Structure formats: C-alpha cells, structure tokens
Chains A and B, each alone.
Chain A
C-alpha cells in the first residue's frame, strides 16, 4: 500500500484566497483524521470521520474551515478565505479498528501551508 497520500506537499497562497488540501487514506481504513501542527499549539485535531461521517469537528477553528469525505478513499479540507494565521502543517491520518482494538494511526507526509 502507498500509505496515506496528501496533496499538495507545499502550498503558498495569498490572504483571502481559497485553499483546498486533499487526502487519500489507506484502503480499508475506516477512520480519517485532520490535524494541524504549529510551533505554538503543537498537534491539534481539527476533525475526524468514521465511515465517511464527521464525528467530531470541535477542533475546527472557525467557519472558514470545512472538511468533507465524499467516499472512503478521499477527503478534503478547505479554508475560505485563508488568513496568515492559518499557516501551518496540515496532516491527514487514517486507521482502522477491529472491535475495540486500535491499530496504529498512519500519517500522510503533510501539507505545509503558507498564507502571505
């Protein structure tokens, strides 16, 4: 398996523009997570999906952020309009559960977003 695939790897955009980050989870994984990493706040969970359904979006900072998972193999995180304080590395991760057993969470390589 190719692992969790994120695109783009780097994104530089101007303030006010729309930004869309993409993620393809590992085939067969039924849970998908979006994390944001900054120096100040560390790794924060933004939202996670289980079987394509959003379960917890309490970490989404404001209405400018939205996430979708239209099918089991694709998810997007959109920021509209973007602001300089959104600059961070955004990670997607996926995992699967068998009953209550949790296996390792596999992370993508992340998207480094810079808003100027």
Chain B
C-alpha cells in the first residue's frame, strides 16, 4: 500500500520569505499523481498544486512550486513571498494512475506565517 510521509509537523516563516515543505512517498508504481492541499482554519480543503509523475517539469502555480524528485520519491512544496493568508495546514497526497482512485494523505504540516 502507498504511504505518504510529511516529516515536519509544524513550520513557521516570516511574511515575504520563502518556505519549503517536505513530502516523501512510497510506491512501486511508475505512473501516479501527487497533490498539495491547503486547509486553513475554515477547514476547507483547497487544492494548491498537482503533478503528474510522467512529467519531468515541475508544476508551478503563481507563488507555489514543487520540486518533484521521482527517483527519490520526494515531492516538496515551495511557497515564495509568503503571505499571512498562507497560514494553514498543508497536506501532501498521492493517487495511483491505474487501480484505486483514492487519495492517500500525509499527516500534514502546520504552517504559520508571521508578520
């Protein structure tokens, strides 16, 4: 079974600075999808960014980018120019391309952006 590990339970960053959240996963599959979700205090789960494993180019969405290292099974999220509104729980998630459609989540990283 696939597992997703987020080794940083909590992190903090100063406003306008850059922060990187770590995620590793375990799978024997070669084709899959990876996601980062944000959960602010409102508890809404918001999709931040997604990556297809067959794509070598790292995904980017405005201030959010990933560093996808397939061989190392690593999928980190970089947030540039951090804003107070980025304060939230961040979850890394894995989904097989074939087989089960379910998302497997990590335990999450609580990010606090300080003014």
Contact = CB atoms under 8 A, between A and B. Distances in A.
**Do A and B interact with each other, yes or no?**
yes
Interface of A: 31, 33, 42-43, 45, 48, 50, 55-56, 89, 91, 93, 95, 97, 100, 102, 104-107, 109-110, 112
Contacts, number: 50
A112 B101 CA distance: 25
B98 A42 contact: no
A93 B45 CA distance: 9
B43 A105 contact: no
Interface residues of B, number: 24
Contacts of B91: 43
B78 interface: no
**Interface SS, B side:** loop
Given A42-B108, A104-B47, A110-B43, A56 B102 contact: yes
A102 B97 contact: yes
B98 A100 contact: yes
B40 to A, nearest CB: 12
Contacts of B46: 107
Contacts of B102: 33, 45, 48, 56
Contact of A102 (B33, B45, B106): B33
